[in-house]
Amino acid sequence: MADALSSFWQSLLDLTSQVVIPDWAALVGLLPVFFVLLVLGPLVTLLAFLWLVYIVRRPRPTIEFDEGPWLIQPDLEGLL
């Protein structure tokens, strides 16, 4: 009974070691991807959001409209 339990326990440990113990060489190779996703991604998103806020809230030029009738000024030859 003890051998069967020990064998079961060892096979369970072998199975979980494939999932739990990472392949460190592969994870170190993925560090640039993690850097882009976890550092540069949020920074680019924040910059895009701030740019959008600026575009929406930026000062607009004021346009003044002259109301009322205008007299047409003749040119130098007296033509309209």
CA distance 43 to 57: 21
Predicted structure pTM score: 0.47
DSSP state of 30: T
> Does residue 32 sit within a domain?
yes
Total number of domains in the chain: 1
> Does residue 12 sit within a domain?
no
> Does residue 78 sit within a domain?
no
CB 52 within 8 A of CB 46: no
Per-residue pLDDT tens over the stretch 15-40: 888 878 778 898 899 999 999 999 99
CB 80 within 8 A of CB 74: yes
State the pLDDT at residue 78: 67
> Does residue 7 sit within a domain?
no
